[in-house]
Amino acid sequence: MKKNRGSNHSLQKKASAAVGSCLRSVRLPALLVLFLILFSFIFISTNYRNLDVSALPNAAASPDNDLSFFDTMPATPAPNNAGSVCQSKYEIVPGKVYKLGDCDKHVNDMQQRLMLLGYLPSDEPSDVFNKPLEQAVKLFQRANHLAQSGEVDETLLRLLYSDAPVEYVIEYGNVGNDVRMLQERLMQLGYYSEKINGYFGMATRTAVEQFRLSNNLPESSVVDTEAFNLIFSAYAVDDGNLPFETGEPYYTVSPAPSPVTSSLPMPAASPTPTLPPAPTSTPSPKPTAIATASAAPTAAPTPSPRPTPTPKPTPTPSPTQSPAPTPTTAPAPSQGLEQFIDALYSQLGKPYVFGSSGPDSFDCSGLVYYCLRQAGLNIGRLNAAGYSNYAGWQRIDGKENLIRGDLVFFYDDAYSRISHVGVYLGNNSFLHASATAGSVVISNAGNWFNTHLAWGRRVF
């Protein structure tokens, strides 16, 4: 019995020793497995909490997809993810350079972007890299203080498509046709009296500073979007020393060789210069061509009413003489309209040049300015937005209400401002200086016209 108890005790000791030995042999692997499980859990949960766009495969840095450029750009709210405008809306082909003469779908995107930033007027975009687009690219490069090559490489595209690109601006040291246009307008307003040479020097800088001061703009010598739109509007305040209203269009004797006089008489334009000698001759035959129907038959009063084309005399046909300075004289609109239309057609095919007002090249508002003056309307050089807001011309809402000769104004793609002007011709067509076409053309008033039309203005 005693022997059996000893035997059992011995067996128990052996069993315990075996179990202990087994546990010791698996303890290290078990602890290692447990440690790996715990480490994996901590690692995965930490990375999950910190996961962001930079961890996504499509945003991984690579030579072809380097987003480091946007790290230097200010963070501003945008419809898409900040810093990813190029990735979401615009496509950038790595290493591709676009230049004059190229035809590519990406050129269309460039045009639209430059239109939004004010370097091109709003127009139906195309895939052709033409001269106006090259000029707009140079202006964008100028605003960013880059070499003005007119070519668009990947770096420039990223700058153009960034969240905070530089909008159109004119500043000290700039040279170009737009500077010449600025000088001409500042001269009309009385702020500039030096040579018009297209160079933004000290005289132009002083004129800009004086304009900004007189028009309650922040002190600066830079012509930014706000200043540019005000300078070329009918609301611009002149220097206070001008004898006329700079933004007010009125009929006048044109300095250019034109048959239109201040009173804009009846459609027979040729007899007007020969009227003054008429009173000394036989009264009945000739004078009836210009005088009103009631004054024609009588012979006795003819010596005094014959000088009706001049604004001074006030005989029986006085109603036709008093409205001389106003643009609403009955005969004036029809004659002025036809001369306006004729002047427009004469410019067809001439090149589009931003800031140009003729006679050899035009931008959209420069064409309107030039042709209105050819029709005898003395008006300041405004931009499209400036002409669109002139209250002296009847506003026309709706394409269906437009008639031949109406000015038509168009929004940019963001519908935030007026950026283009043309002239409605009827028959679903309009004439304009088109940056997309590169010249003065007649275009179909189709989908782009319908979706971007703001309103019209009836001048005649």
Q: Residue 134: pLDDT above 90?
A: yes
> CA-CA distances (angstroms) from residue 105 to 120, 129, 317?
18, 10, 64
Burial 128-153 (b: 16+ CB within 10 A, else e): bbbbbbbbbbbbbbbbeeeeeebbbe
Which of the residue ranges 145-154, 238-247, 299-308, 321-330 has the most confident prediction, judged by mean pLDDT? 145-154
The number of beta carbons lying within 10 Å of the beta carbon of residue 157 is 22
Share of the chain above pLDDT 90, in %: 56
Give the pLDDT mean for 288-308: 39
> CA-CA distances (angstroms) from residue 266 to 145, 240, 335?
56, 37, 8
d(CA 19, CA 17): 6
Phi-psi region of 310 (alpha: psi -120 to 50; beta: other; left: phi over 0): beta
Query: Is-catalytic flag, 432?
Result: yes
Bigger pLDDT: 323 vs 339 = 339
264 in a structural domain: no
d(CA 276, CA 172): 53
d(CA 101, CA 85): 27
Quote the pLDDT of residue 45: 52
d(CA 41, CA 39): 5
388 in a structural domain: yes
- pLDDT tens, 192-224? 999 999 999 999 999 999 999 999 999 999 999
358 in a structural domain: yes
Select which of 86, 371, 432, 452 is catalytic.
432
> CA-CA distances (angstroms) from residue 256 to 17, 92, 184, 370, 371?
122, 50, 17, 11, 12
Q: Which residue has the tokens 């011709």?
A: 425
Q: Residue 77: pLDDT above 70?
A: no
Q: What is the number of domains present in the chain?
A: 1
Give the pLDDT mean for 282-303: 39
Q: How confident is the model at residue 115 (pLDDT cuts 50, 70, 90)?
A: very high
Give the pLDDT mean for 64-86: 36
CATH number at residue 363: 3.90.1720.10
Quote the pLDDT of residue 186: 97
106 in a structural domain: no
Helix locations, 308-453, DSSP H? 331-346, 364-374, 384-388, 447-452
Q: Which residue has the tokens 């059992």?
A: 8
Q: How confident is the model at residue 256 (pLDDT cuts 50, 70, 90)?
A: very low
Burial 405-443 (b: 16+ CB within 10 A, else e): bbbbbbbbeeeebbbbbbbbbeeeebbbbbbbbbbbbbb
Q: What mean pLDDT value characterizes the chain? A: 76
Select which of 86, 106, 420, 452 is catalytic.
420
323 in a structural domain: no
Q: Residue 10: pLDDT above 80?
A: no
Quote the pLDDT of residue 231: 97
Computed on alpha carbons and rounded to an integer, the radius of gyration of the chain in Å comes to 38
The two tokens of residue 147 are: 């070499």
Quote the pLDDT of residue 334: 75
Strand partners, 422: 408
Give, in degrees to the nearest 5, the angle at Cα 436 between 432 and 437: 65
Beta carbons of 369 and 382 less than 8 angstroms apart: yes
d(CA 211, CA 107): 37
Q: Residue 297: pLDDT above 50?
A: no
Q: Which of 64-78, 114-128, 218-232, 295-309 is predicted with the least confidence, judged by mean pLDDT?
A: 64-78
190 in a structural domain: no
- pLDDT tens, 386-414? 999 998 999 999 999 999 999 999 999 88
Q: How confident is the model at residue 5 (pLDDT cuts 50, 70, 90)?
A: low
What domain range is 405 assigned to?
A: 250-254+329-458
Share of the chain above pLDDT 70, in %: 63
- pLDDT tens, 222-253? 999 999 999 999 899 988 765 444 444 544 43
421 in a structural domain: yes
Query: Is-catalytic flag, 22?
Result: no
Quote the pLDDT of residue 32: 74
Verdict on whether the full-model pTM lies above 0.75: no
Helix locations, 50-130, DSSP H? 85-88, 105-116
Select which of 86, 364, 371, 452 is catalytic.
364
Q: How confident is the model at residue 143 (pLDDT cuts 50, 70, 90)?
A: very high
Beta carbons of 422 and 408 less than 8 angstroms apart: yes
Query: Is-catalytic flag, 452?
Result: no
422 in a structural domain: yes
d(CA 226, CA 248): 21
| CA neighbor of 88 nearest in space, from 97, 98, 78 | 78
Q: Residue 187: pLDDT above 70?
A: yes
Is residue 51 packed enough to be buried (19+ CB in 10 Å), middle (13-18) or exposed (0-12)?
A: exposed
The two tokens of residue 212 are: 């900004």
